[in-house]
A and B are shown apart, each in its own frame.
Chain A
C-alpha cells in the first residue's frame, strides 16, 4: 500500500492509501470530535460533527473527515471559526434531545454550546446508529434497527430477535452516547413479559 503525505493543522502526516482524513488525523494523534464513528464499523457520516476544512487544488471545502479519503497534498484544518460554529450548533441541536449525555456535555464545554438553546424534546436518541450498525455489521443479528423516517425516525429492538440474542450480548450498550438504548431494551423486555 502506498503512502500519502498530507498536512493536518500545519503538521505533516503520513497516511496509508485508503485511509480517511479522520484515520490519518488519529494516527498522528490529532483529535477530531466524532459521535457516530466507530473504528470497526463502516463510515456512516450522519452526525457531521467531524467536519473539517479540506483544501486541494486551490479549492477549500467543508467535508466530513470520517468519510473523506486522505489524498496526497491535502491541507486539512480541524478547527476554524466556521467549523466551531457548526459543531456548536450541531451539539445544541442534539442536546435538545439528550441534555444529560456525558459525551455531549464534554464537547459542549469545548465548543461553548448552550444545552438550552433549543426547546427540549426528550427523545434521548441522537440517531448515531452505533447500536444498529454494530448489531448488523459485527454481530450480524439485526436485533435493533431504525424505524420510520425523518424527524419521526427512531431505533427499535426487534422483539423476536432481541429477546433471544441481547441478554447475553449487550455489546452495543456501552456504545450508546445517551441512555436511550438501555431504556428501549428495558421496555422491550417489559412488554414481552407483560404480553406472554
Chain B
C-alpha cells in the first residue's frame, strides 16, 4: 500500500502539519505521546475529521482541494479504542452489519472470522454483557468482515486489562497470516508497536519526527524515543533449537551468535523478532566467564550519544544488527569507550516479540 499524506490542521491548542508517505508495509504504526495528534491524523485519514490537505491511497484520491470522498466511500475499516458496537444488535448482528455492506466478495465469511477471534460461542450474546476484551474482538472481526482495502486502528488495546491486552495482541499478530489488508495502527505504547509494526512513523507535537522501518528506527541512537526509559532495540534472529531440560530456546543472530530466551513454541528455523531493552544491556571489555548472565555477545561500539545527565546511550553492532545499551557517562570514560572498540554486551533480558515478516 501507499498512503500519501499532506495535511495542515489548526485547532485551538493544537496543530498538525504533515507531508509524508506511508509506504508498502503491511503493518504501519503511528507512534507518539498522547496529545501528539495521532488520533486526529487517523480520523482525518478515515474522513471523520475535516482539515485542509491532500490524501491518496494506492493512487485513489480521497482528498484534494475541491475533492472529499466521504468515509463510507473510502472502503476502509476503523477499529476504535471504545469498540463502538451497536447496542441494539447482538454480536452476530454487529458482524452481519459489516458483512452485508462489505466492499468486495473476496473477504472471509462470518463463521471464519468468528472462529479466528474465538467468538463462535458469543454470536448470540447481547453486546452489553461482553467484557472489554470481547467487545474489542468483535470490533476487530467486524473490521475484517467489511473486506476493506485498509484497516485503521486507534489504540485498540487502550482500555483493556493486561490479560485482555495479551489476548488481542496475539490476535493482531495473527492478522499478518490471516489477511493481506494493510493496517495503520495508532499507539502510545512502544512495546505494542514493536510487536506489531513493520514501519513506524513517530509523531511529536503534530509533526513527523522520524519514520522508517521499525528495526532501523529502534536502533537509532539519536532518536528521542530511544532515550526514554522503555527504549529497546529490536533484533531479528532465527530459532536454532529448544532446550527441554532448562526450558530455554536458543536463537541465532546472523546465523552465528547464540541468544537464549525462555522456551518458546515457535518452530525451529523460524525467523523471529526479539526486543532488548537498552537498560538491560551492560558492557564489559572482557568476556566474563563467572557471570550468571547467559547472553554475552561480542559487539563493536558504533556510536555514543551522551546526554546532559548521568547517562549515555551506546549503539553496538552485533552481527550486522544493532543493540542499544544505556550506561553512565562515568562508565564511558572509565572503559574508554570509543567508536570501533570491541566490547562484550551482557544482556539481562530478551523478549520474544513475534514471528518476523
Q: Do chains A and B stick together as partners?
A: no
Chain A interface (Cβ < 8 Å from any Cβ of B):
none
